[in-house]
A and B are shown apart, each in its own frame.
Chain A
Protein backbone atom coordinates (compact mmCIF):
# COMPACT_ATOMS: atom_id res chain seq x y z
CA UNK A 1 0.00 0.00 0.00
CA UNK A 2 1.26 3.43 -0.91
CA UNK A 3 1.46 5.45 2.29
CA UNK A 4 3.11 8.42 3.97
CA UNK A 5 3.35 8.76 7.75
CA UNK A 6 4.56 11.96 9.38
CA UNK A 7 6.06 12.38 12.82
CA UNK A 8 8.11 14.86 14.80
CA UNK A 9 5.60 17.57 15.45
CA UNK A 10 5.14 19.10 18.87
CA UNK A 11 5.43 22.22 20.93
CA UNK A 12 8.33 24.58 20.45
CA UNK A 13 9.14 27.99 21.83
CA UNK A 14 9.63 30.84 19.39
CA UNK A 15 13.14 30.65 17.99
CA UNK A 16 13.29 26.91 18.54
CA UNK A 17 13.76 24.03 16.12
CA UNK A 18 11.88 20.91 15.10
CA UNK A 19 12.61 18.15 12.62
CA UNK A 20 9.64 16.58 10.92
CA UNK A 21 9.86 13.13 9.35
CA UNK A 22 7.73 11.48 6.71
CA UNK A 23 8.16 7.75 6.23
CA UNK A 24 7.12 6.41 2.85
CA UNK A 25 5.95 2.90 2.02
CA UNK A 26 4.85 1.36 -1.24
CA UNK A 27 7.12 3.63 -3.29
CA UNK A 28 10.65 5.02 -3.13
CA UNK A 29 11.28 8.62 -2.08
CA UNK A 30 14.32 8.90 -4.35
CA UNK A 31 12.17 8.30 -7.44
CA UNK A 32 9.50 10.82 -6.63
CA UNK A 33 9.05 14.54 -6.13
CA UNK A 34 7.93 15.15 -2.55
CA UNK A 35 6.37 18.23 -0.98
CA UNK A 36 5.49 19.65 2.40
CA UNK A 37 2.21 21.52 2.70
CA UNK A 38 0.95 23.15 5.89
CA UNK A 39 -2.39 24.29 7.23
CA UNK A 40 -2.66 26.82 10.04
CA UNK A 41 -5.59 26.35 12.43
CA UNK A 42 -8.83 27.19 10.64
CA UNK A 43 -6.97 28.27 7.50
CA UNK A 44 -6.33 26.98 4.02
CA UNK A 45 -3.49 24.98 2.51
CA UNK A 46 -0.06 26.54 2.02
CA UNK A 47 2.74 24.93 0.01
CA UNK A 48 6.01 24.96 1.98
CA UNK A 49 8.73 23.08 0.10
CA UNK A 50 9.52 20.49 -2.56
CA UNK A 51 12.44 18.19 -3.31
CA UNK A 52 12.99 16.87 -6.81
CA UNK A 53 14.26 13.41 -7.70
CA UNK A 54 17.62 14.94 -8.61
CA UNK A 55 17.86 16.56 -5.18
CA UNK A 56 16.99 20.15 -6.09
CA UNK A 57 15.05 21.88 -3.35
CA UNK A 58 12.69 24.85 -3.33
CA UNK A 59 10.91 26.81 -0.63
CA UNK A 60 8.04 29.20 -0.10
CA UNK A 61 9.18 32.74 0.66
CA UNK A 62 7.53 32.49 4.09
CA UNK A 63 10.00 29.81 5.21
CA UNK A 64 13.05 30.39 3.01
CA UNK A 65 16.25 30.47 5.03
CA UNK A 66 14.64 28.84 8.06
CA UNK A 67 13.61 25.47 6.69
CA UNK A 68 15.49 22.67 4.95
CA UNK A 69 13.91 19.77 3.10
CA UNK A 70 15.92 16.58 2.70
CA UNK A 71 15.52 12.85 2.31
CA UNK A 72 17.26 9.68 3.42
CA UNK A 73 16.98 7.17 0.61
CA UNK A 74 18.18 4.29 2.79
CA UNK A 75 15.34 4.94 5.23
CA UNK A 76 12.88 5.91 2.49
CA UNK A 77 12.08 8.99 4.55
CA UNK A 78 11.56 12.68 3.87
CA UNK A 79 12.48 15.35 6.40
CA UNK A 80 11.75 18.98 7.11
CA UNK A 81 14.20 20.73 9.43
CA UNK A 82 12.57 23.84 10.84
CA UNK A 83 14.66 26.47 12.62
CA UNK A 84 13.98 29.92 14.05
CA UNK A 85 10.36 28.96 14.54
CA UNK A 86 7.74 31.67 14.70
CA UNK A 87 4.17 31.70 16.00
CA UNK A 88 2.97 31.85 12.40
CA UNK A 89 4.59 28.47 11.72
CA UNK A 90 1.93 26.86 13.92
CA UNK A 91 0.11 24.44 11.63
CA UNK A 92 -0.53 20.87 10.65
CA UNK A 93 2.26 19.82 8.31
CA UNK A 94 1.51 17.32 5.58
CA UNK A 95 3.98 15.54 3.34
CA UNK A 96 2.69 14.65 -0.10
CA UNK A 97 3.89 12.85 -3.19
CA UNK A 98 4.03 15.13 -6.18
CA UNK A 99 3.36 13.93 -9.71
CA UNK A 100 6.69 15.34 -10.85
CA UNK A 101 5.37 16.64 -14.13
CA UNK A 102 2.60 18.95 -15.30
CA UNK A 103 0.09 19.55 -13.83
CA UNK A 104 2.09 18.87 -10.64
CA UNK A 105 -0.66 17.42 -8.53
CA UNK A 106 -0.24 15.73 -5.15
CA UNK A 107 -1.79 12.30 -5.14
CA UNK A 108 -0.64 10.73 -1.87
CA UNK A 109 -0.79 12.57 1.44
CA UNK A 110 0.20 11.73 4.97
CA UNK A 111 -2.20 12.26 7.86
CA UNK A 112 -0.23 15.27 9.09
CA UNK A 113 1.78 16.21 12.15
CA UNK A 114 0.99 19.23 14.31
CA UNK A 115 3.53 21.94 15.06
CA UNK A 116 2.72 24.48 17.76
CA UNK A 117 5.00 27.45 18.35
CA UNK A 118 4.25 29.20 21.60
CA UNK A 119 5.97 30.46 24.70
Chain B
Protein backbone atom coordinates (compact mmCIF):
# COMPACT_ATOMS: atom_id res chain seq x y z
CA UNK B 1 0.00 0.00 0.00
CA UNK B 2 1.13 3.53 -0.74
CA UNK B 3 1.56 5.63 2.40
CA UNK B 4 1.13 9.39 2.32
CA UNK B 5 2.93 11.52 4.91
CA UNK B 6 2.18 15.20 5.37
CA UNK B 7 4.30 17.73 7.20
CA UNK B 8 3.87 19.56 9.37
CA UNK B 9 0.88 18.04 11.18
CA UNK B 10 -0.05 21.52 12.39
CA UNK B 11 1.00 24.99 11.47
CA UNK B 12 0.36 28.42 12.97
CA UNK B 13 0.31 31.41 10.66
CA UNK B 14 -1.09 34.90 10.33
CA UNK B 15 -3.33 36.53 7.78
CA UNK B 16 -1.17 37.61 4.85
CA UNK B 17 1.49 34.93 5.41
CA UNK B 18 2.71 32.48 2.80
CA UNK B 19 2.56 28.85 3.92
CA UNK B 20 3.73 25.59 2.43
CA UNK B 21 2.52 22.10 3.26
CA UNK B 22 4.44 19.06 2.14
CA UNK B 23 3.14 15.63 1.16
CA UNK B 24 5.43 12.66 0.57
CA UNK B 25 4.42 9.34 -0.98
CA UNK B 26 6.08 6.06 -0.03
CA UNK B 27 6.68 5.40 -3.73
CA UNK B 28 6.49 7.35 -6.94
CA UNK B 29 2.95 8.35 -7.88
CA UNK B 30 3.79 10.50 -10.92
CA UNK B 31 1.54 13.57 -10.60
CA UNK B 32 -1.50 11.64 -9.36
CA UNK B 33 -1.80 13.77 -6.26
CA UNK B 34 -4.79 15.79 -5.13
CA UNK B 35 -5.30 18.33 -2.34
CA UNK B 36 -8.41 18.98 -0.27
CA UNK B 37 -9.43 21.58 2.28
CA UNK B 38 -11.72 20.69 5.16
CA UNK B 39 -13.31 23.04 7.65
CA UNK B 40 -14.77 21.82 10.97
CA UNK B 41 -18.07 20.02 10.51
CA UNK B 42 -17.90 20.28 6.75
CA UNK B 43 -17.10 17.95 3.89
CA UNK B 44 -13.70 18.10 2.20
CA UNK B 45 -13.40 20.40 -0.79
CA UNK B 46 -11.18 19.67 -3.77
CA UNK B 47 -8.56 22.39 -4.24
CA UNK B 48 -5.96 20.97 -6.61
CA UNK B 49 -5.81 17.86 -8.76
CA UNK B 50 -3.00 16.26 -10.72
CA UNK B 51 -0.50 17.95 -8.40
CA UNK B 52 -0.82 21.43 -9.87
CA UNK B 53 -4.20 21.97 -11.57
CA UNK B 54 -6.48 24.37 -9.74
CA UNK B 55 -10.07 23.20 -9.37
CA UNK B 56 -12.62 25.64 -10.74
CA UNK B 57 -13.63 28.36 -8.32
CA UNK B 58 -10.57 27.94 -6.10
CA UNK B 59 -8.66 31.20 -5.51
CA UNK B 60 -5.35 31.58 -7.32
CA UNK B 61 -3.50 32.07 -4.03
CA UNK B 62 -3.57 28.26 -3.80
CA UNK B 63 -0.99 26.40 -5.85
CA UNK B 64 0.49 22.93 -5.99
CA UNK B 65 3.68 21.46 -7.30
CA UNK B 66 5.70 18.29 -7.35
CA UNK B 67 5.97 14.93 -9.04
CA UNK B 68 7.23 11.49 -8.20
CA UNK B 69 7.00 11.24 -4.44
CA UNK B 70 7.33 14.82 -3.17
CA UNK B 71 4.60 17.43 -3.41
CA UNK B 72 3.78 20.82 -1.95
CA UNK B 73 0.68 22.93 -1.45
CA UNK B 74 1.38 26.64 -1.16
CA UNK B 75 -1.00 29.33 -0.03
CA UNK B 76 0.16 32.86 -0.66
CA UNK B 77 -1.31 35.78 1.29
CA UNK B 78 -3.37 33.74 3.75
CA UNK B 79 -6.95 34.83 4.24
CA UNK B 80 -9.07 34.18 7.33
CA UNK B 81 -11.17 31.64 5.43
CA UNK B 82 -8.07 29.56 4.65
CA UNK B 83 -7.62 28.38 8.23
CA UNK B 84 -8.66 24.74 7.95
CA UNK B 85 -7.22 21.25 7.69
CA UNK B 86 -5.58 20.20 4.43
CA UNK B 87 -5.26 16.66 3.10
CA UNK B 88 -3.33 15.21 0.23
CA UNK B 89 -4.63 12.12 -1.56
CA UNK B 90 -2.90 9.81 -3.99
CA UNK B 91 -4.89 8.61 -6.98
CA UNK B 92 -2.18 6.34 -8.37
CA UNK B 93 -2.99 2.98 -6.83
CA UNK B 94 -6.47 2.73 -8.25
CA UNK B 95 -8.99 1.45 -7.22
CA UNK B 96 -7.78 2.16 -3.70
CA UNK B 97 -6.67 5.59 -2.63
CA UNK B 98 -5.00 6.92 0.47
CA UNK B 99 -4.98 10.27 2.20
CA UNK B 100 -2.29 11.96 4.17
CA UNK B 101 -2.95 12.39 7.88
CA UNK B 102 -3.82 16.05 7.46
CA UNK B 103 -2.25 19.40 8.26
CA UNK B 104 -4.17 21.74 10.53
CA UNK B 105 -3.56 25.38 9.70
CA UNK B 106 -4.30 27.59 12.69
CA UNK B 107 -4.31 31.29 13.39
CA UNK B 108 -1.18 32.49 15.17
Which residues of A does B touch, CB under 8 Å?
35, 37, 44-47, 50, 52, 56, 58, 60, 94, 99, 102-107, 109-112
Contact = CB atoms under 8 A, between A and B. Distances in A.
Interface string B87-108: 1010110111111111000000
A102 B93 CA distance: 10
Interface residues of B, number: 29
Interface stretch (B14-22, B42-50, B75-83): B42-50
A2 to B, nearest CB: 12
A29 B89 CA distance: 23
A60 B91 CA distance: 14
A99 to B, nearest CB: 7
Interface of B: 30-34, 36, 38, 42-46, 49-51, 55, 87, 89, 91-92, 94-102
B92 A52 contact: no
17 contacts: A45-B36, A45-B89, A47-B99, A50-B95, A52-B95, A99-B91, A103-B31, A103-B32, A103-B33, A103-B50, A104-B91, A105-B49, A106-B89, A109-B44, A109-B45, A111-B43, A112-B43
Identify whether the interface residues of B are mostly helix, strand, loop, or mixed: loop
Nearest to A109: B43
